[in-house]
């Protein structure tokens, strides 16, 4: 796991200096080694966190002696031994035991088609001197990020947005559409970023850039398969379970100590059980414990660890420890997001225990129907399609009346509750993408229009038109359950959770692997019927059954609770001074493009514990303003 940066268009001293400074800003991603390579029109840089082949032979940038191609690579390819054997059969020789050398040789041998054979997580860049082009690519689910910008007549790229921003490669201006989308979601959906001009290469995409810095190719090389279900071409959960077990086994390969995040919930417990099944001795598991009542799930994790026989570690995260490292947590955020610091503190605890690699159960909820959206959206869609038969005026009047009856608090409507969103939901007329957007929106459209100084008119339910059209194509022809799963994977997982995890974990030099997002497993899972895969909704019985020999499925018969810091409690107590000061900074609010008076009103409603003002809404606004102030970014 590493950090990469580079430029195409020049290899002069100024370009070399800029790439070097980007690498200096990425030192947390790779504290073990650094390297620079340049030619007449290309410069590549690398920061290394040594996981496989700890010797000098694994150093990057890495040169292919046969073709002259040069690679910088961030990630892990788990099937590299298999690819290596095939390449050796073709006469290829290798000087290291790293996956990077295999990836370089594979692309040198088979061209960009080799990327479709990689099983893992990655973001890479390869300069080919033969046709003077740069090849860049990201893994299928977007586990590893890759940002780029065209500036000063060159094409620049880096593992983090801040690296590009720090060396003056973009104007420090907020993209107004991205701002509107952030206020809707609490994060910025790709491929745009919060900074105007800086973009994110989409997941499962390959691009080729010419020596003049212009794109000559951009194509998608993988998409989550359409659901097949029962029939002669269908698959079974048994097939999928075998593939997941194989994926976990591959994810355990490491030349450094490795651990597993264990919350005690279904996903992490299944992952820990499968990992322990293939480990030579007790695996290390980690759980974060809180002092606040209602947030501590450590007894569940402790019970699972005891049953599996793992070497279990509990880390107490008190408010004092949180406050001591809050500045570091906020500094780790690469783009504004309402939820990244959760991952930061877990990652920090594991890294301080001496580990460089950890496995996480990310993706289980999205793939097996673990969220309430799998129940709520299909049900609401049926109701809203019926409501869509009413005349628009009558529909709006009815929904507004019901909303006000159900949400009035102190003479004002609490617009963030489900009932407060009823009017917006009615306007979707059963459109699945629109309903998903409304359900996950932090605020109603009416309040957002008040909050933003200038609301971007072209946004469609909080999304840019190109992103809206892409999601519409994703779910076309799907069952409701399958559509929700795709939307959760593309939006909540792809646009927020994975990006947050990458930035937070790499801030403390920790590699996080996510076996549930192995594409071979997802391909097998697509062949399983909705009934076998999702039902009963939210129970994830198919996932529990995979480890029934180690863990009684009834062990998880309790209300679902995701990992969550007590930020609601702390924001009203220990952190209230800092948050209040930020929410009443009218000059900062104006520079970011939000209405200072509305901010003050929202803060007062949060302090009064008004209905619907969950901490995530307030925290998301705070992080936005703190990030923009920290990086001097303005509208």
Backbone angles phi, psi at 560, to 5 degrees: -70, 140
Domain boundaries defined on the chain: 2-220, 237-370+486-556, 373-482, 567-631
Alpha helices by DSSP H, 186-231:
none
**How high is the pLDDT of residue 276?**
97
Q: Do 322 and 569 contact (CB within 8 A), yes or no?
A: no
Q: How far apart are CA 144 and CA 498, in angstroms?
A: 8
Backbone angles phi, psi at 378, to 5 degrees: -60, -40
Beta bridge mates, 220: 205
- CA separation, residue 331 to residues 172, 340, 494, 508 (Å): 17, 11, 22, 11
CATH number for the 237-370+486-556 domain, one of 1.10.1370.40, 3.40.50.620, 3.40.50.720, 3.30.420.10? 3.40.50.620
**How high is the pLDDT of residue 408?**
44
Q: Do 165 and 154 contact (CB within 8 A), yes or no?
A: no
Q: How far apart are CA 59 and CA 548, in angstroms?
A: 43
**Residue labelled with tokens 């104006």:** 590
**How high is the pLDDT of residue 233?**
60
2-220 has which CATH code?
3.60.20.10
- 10-residue mean pLDDT series, the chain (635 residues): 92 93 96 94 93 80 96 97 98 94 98 98 98 98 98 95 93 95 96 97 98 95 80 79 97 90 96 96 91 78 97 88 91 93 89 92 97 92 69 53 46 52 84 94 89 89 95 94 97 96 96 97 95 95 96 89 74 88 96 96 87 84 97 96
**How high is the pLDDT of residue 387?**
61
Same CATH topology for 2-220 and 237-370+486-556?
A: no
- CA separation, residue 401 to residues 396, 398, 413, 421, 471 (Å): 8, 5, 11, 12, 32
Q: Do 302 and 262 contact (CB within 8 A), yes or no?
A: no
**How high is the pLDDT of residue 562?**
62
Q: How far apart are CA 276 and CA 264, in angstroms?
A: 15
**How high is the pLDDT of residue 563?**
64
**How high is the pLDDT of residue 518?**
98
Q: Do 133 and 48 contact (CB within 8 A), yes or no?
A: no
Q: How far apart are CA 500 and CA 495, in angstroms?
A: 9
């Amino acid at each position: 796991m590493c950090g990469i940066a580079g430029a195409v268009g020049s290899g002069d001293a100024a370009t070399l200096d800029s790439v070097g400074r980007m690498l200096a800003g990425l030192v947390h991603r790779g504290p073990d080694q650094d390297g620079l390579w340049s030619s007449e029109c290309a410069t590549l840089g690398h920061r290394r966190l040594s996981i496989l082949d700890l010797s000098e032979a694994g150093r990057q940038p890495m040169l292919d002696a046969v073709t002259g191609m040069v690679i910088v690579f961030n990630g892990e390819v788990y099937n590299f031994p298999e690819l290596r054997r095939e390449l050796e059969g073709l006469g290829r020789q290798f000087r290291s035991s790293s996956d990077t050398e295999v990836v370089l040789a594979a692309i040198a041998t088979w061209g960009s088609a080799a990327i479709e054979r990689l099983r893992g997580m990655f973001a890479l860049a390869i300069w080919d001197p033969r046709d003077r082009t740069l090849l860049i690519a990201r893994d299928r689910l977007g586990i590893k990020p890759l940002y780029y910008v065209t500036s000063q007549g060159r094409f620049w790229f880096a593992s983090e947005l801040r690296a590009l921003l720090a060396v003056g490669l973009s104007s420090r201006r907020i993209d107004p559409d991205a701002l509107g989308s952030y206020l809707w979601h609490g994060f910025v959906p790709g491929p745009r970023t919060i900074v105007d001009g800086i973009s994110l290469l989409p997941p499962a995409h390959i691009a080729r850039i010419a020596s003049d810095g212009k794109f000559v190719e951009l194509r998608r090389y993988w998409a989550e398969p359409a659901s097949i279900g029962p029939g002669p071409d269908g698959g079974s959960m048994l097939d999928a379970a075998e593939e997941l077990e194989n994926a976990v086994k591959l994810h355990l390969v490491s030349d450094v100590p490795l651990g597993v995040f264990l919350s005690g919930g279904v996903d992490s417990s299944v992952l820990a059980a499968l990992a322990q099944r293939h480990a030579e001795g007790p695996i290390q598991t980690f759980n974060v414990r809180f002092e606040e009542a209602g947030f501590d799930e450590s007894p569940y994790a402790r019970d699972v660890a005891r049953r599996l026989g793992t070497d279990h570690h509990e880390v107490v995260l008190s408010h004092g420890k949180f406050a001591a490292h809050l500045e570091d947590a906020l500094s780790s955020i690469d783009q504004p997001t309402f939820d990244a610091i959760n991952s930061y503190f877990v990652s920090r605890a594991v890294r301080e225990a001496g580990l460089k690699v950890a496995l996480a159960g990310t993706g289980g909820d999205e793939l097996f129907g673990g969220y309430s959206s799998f129940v709520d959206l299909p049900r609401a869609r049926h109701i809203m399609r019926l409501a869509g038969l009413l005349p628009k005026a009558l529909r709006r009047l009815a929904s507004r009346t019901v909303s006000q009856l159900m949400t009035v608090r102190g003479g004002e409507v609490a617009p963030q509750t489900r009932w407060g969103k009823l009017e917006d939901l009615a306007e979707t007329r059963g459109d699945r993408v629109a309903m998903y957007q409304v359900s996950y929106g932090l605020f109603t459209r009416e309040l957002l229009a008040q909050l933003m100084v200038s609301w971007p008119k072209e946004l469609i339910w909080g999304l840019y038109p190109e992103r809206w059209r892409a999601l519409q194509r994703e779910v076309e022809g799907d069952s409701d359950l399958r559509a929700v799963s795709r939307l959760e994977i593309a939006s909540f997982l792809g646009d927020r959770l994975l990006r947050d995890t990458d930035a937070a974990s790499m801030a403390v030099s920790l590699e996080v692997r996510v076996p549930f997002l192995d594409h071979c497993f997802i391909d097998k899972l697509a062949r399983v019927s909705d009934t076998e895969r999702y039902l009963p909704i939210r129970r994830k019985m198919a996932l529990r059954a995979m480890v029934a020999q180690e863990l009684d499925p009834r062990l998880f018969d309790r209300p679902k609770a995701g990992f969550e810091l007590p930020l609601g409690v702390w924001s009203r107590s220990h952190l209230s001074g800092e948050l209040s000061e930020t929410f009443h900074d009218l000059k900062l609010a104006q520079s970011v493009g939000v209405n200072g008076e509305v901010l003050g009103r929202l803060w007062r409603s949060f302090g009064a514990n008004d209905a619907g003002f969950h901490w995530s809404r307030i925290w998301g606004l705070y992080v936005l303003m703190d990030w923009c102030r920290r990086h001097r970014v303005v509208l």
